[in-house]
Amino acid sequence: MKIVGIAACTSGIAHTYIAKEKLVTAAKELGHEAFIETQGTIGTEDELTAQQIKDADVVIIAADIKVGGKDRFQGKRIVEVPTHIAIKSPKALLNKIEEEIKK
């Protein structure tokens, strides 16, 4: 499964980067590929490319705040969760998404 997404928390620091790392690591361990951009107080980092978005099977938005650029994902399956879900249960989240995609 190819995954793209956005991580963003209220302060734009700790939880943003932890959520990104947990999602990328869990995806790799489960045999998936994930690219997660971060949005926070220092702006956008690791901005997703048009090709990454085009190739994606799913978009995960792990955010506690409103994120920008969601219009890029038009026509894609989007899953929105708070950052604590991505941090505490990233593998469970990815497994659930994979099950839903297979239906």
**Catalytic residue IDs:** 9
Q: Which two tokens stand for residue 67?
A: 């994120």
Tell me if 48 sits within 8 A of 37, measured CB to CB.
Answer: yes
Tell me if 48 sits within 8 A of 72, measured CB to CB.
Answer: yes
Tell me if 8 sits within 8 A of 46, measured CB to CB.
Answer: no
